Structure 1
């Protein structure tokens, strides 16, 4: 769709040039040239407008290109926004975000809020679902798409959608050689599907509605099956591919981690943590204006604690539908060691890394600088919560605590 956007922009530019030429020559003796230029310009502009009508996603792609350039101008680290755009996956997003409704009048108990915050910590700690093992050894995971009242920050609850009552959905973790079955139950008021980004599966398991499968109707179910192969090892996103701009930002997204058949993907890592970046539109905003890490904006986003000298892997999964992010770690230069589930032959050093929608990046660093280090998006409005009078910071913000001279380590 980015190619369509570039084509439409080119047609508009040519049309504008002809219109300018026609207007410029109106007072000259070459009246026929003026008329011909004006007619040609009108035809080009009209064709471009019709193209936008036929290919509405082109407007989004053009907008994404502009966002990418903005992100790149802020980024000084491993990848520019343009690099991320070049790797941008084909997510069927809407041209504008579809907001979630406020549920702040529905009170959640402290224990319910703490349970949701614990879900975020579990995802950061890479605690995945426990599958049911079928008679033939297949690992069966069940995801139920359903409405959920989700707590964001003080006095702000929203009517979200999630998998198994969680936003993001639970972590699915498998290894090479596993036969995997994911059963999707739909308890939503509209149809949905499930797509595993970067995983080569049969066409009818790919989750593209009306193309590779019929959408799963309300009250219906669908079984996705695939066998894990060595090329799948790494960090991947999963999400709804039906009305994706709406359903992803409503909460229908999660992470799939694939391990080698034996051992770990990063055997030298002492700490392996996961941060899934989400976003949603609240207060009737036309675009995403609340951003989350593992389902929670700061100050409820989980924070990472490691011991001085430990080798740390941080997996970043971008599961917002439309925005780019530029994640920055204070106090350190890290290495980008994998992108979209694939290791890099030559790691890239930096302290800022840009991510496009559905992109994943694994970064690595040695925790040799004790202190309290902020980890956040470098786009300023992604670091704030709307209408939050308690915390000046919010959104994609958390802290990495590097503890000196202590035997205690872990995540909190």
Structure 2
């Protein structure tokens, strides 16, 4: 593709993202599936440009508003080419030529916009801190409260491109073996600093080049997510529930801990996600996992299996603030349709219901990919107040080698740990219910 063709492709995809009320990764995947013949290099360049524009959405919008222009995909792309890529107006005009598969020629207003933007940089002294750091209004107050003096550093880290982390599937390979295979491909792999089966790749590449990924020897999984699964500490022969399993990433990690022995049930309310999870289980050689479709967090299946499981993981639906590096569009989608308060209430219901599955002496792990205290520490405190038969297992006892941002729970942030933002609390059910003693 020529540079002009790539710009038109970017406009087409940006238009879809604005029109479709779905997460960007789902829209992008569908867009590429309809264009399977696109070259990997063009695909990579398009994704890199698109993600850069998404990471600069507030600043680009600020500049467009300053110059009285609507925030449309075409104006946004023009502003990015000028401010983000530093292209001069004459270079942009040549690409907006109106030729076949190229963007339509610039209008007089668009040409004037480029003239006004020439010589400017992305950041302007008149921008608010929230605009400069791409922090949406709904999250600004709790994030300021969460990070205090570290707010700027943490928000800046959330604007950096994410790392590519892999988890070695120990049912099929070991980390040393996979590291050697990746080194042979000149991919410069590094053992993860925190996760014992993690590998980090600094090299940008098409995933089609990852042979261990095709064979199921590795899974793509952020190092922080790997640590959450590790805290479940499931062993061979255990009975385990992954209560909000989604497409099964943590289920796969837990099944490997269990050495394919025992039983792990991946539960979710979304049938499509569970179908993808089943496909991943087969590819990874996992035989001890099964899926269970729930009607809600209070499905009758939960009551029927009360007190039956050694380990229960609740990776609760959340605001996703910890994943903004990976999903830059998520910051502009307020959590859930009913807002943050509704989401927090849902988390509480899910945690309370899933806790019924834990047998006396068993372990409940509550996790989110959120950085907001309301979804994390406050949620755990409220649960413990309502469930005196549970107590905290401090991270320092469960995993003393992990340097957490919280003294008791797992708390990972992009600035401190170079992972996505994750929270996890380990809750133990007393061997005997004090109320019945």
Do these two structures clear the TM 0.5 threshold for a shared fold by scoring above it?
A: no
* Structure 1 or 2: more strand by fraction: 1
Larger relative CO (CA 8 A, sep 6+): 1 or 2?
1
* Structure 1 or 2: more helix by fraction: 2
TM-score when normalising by structure 2: 0.29
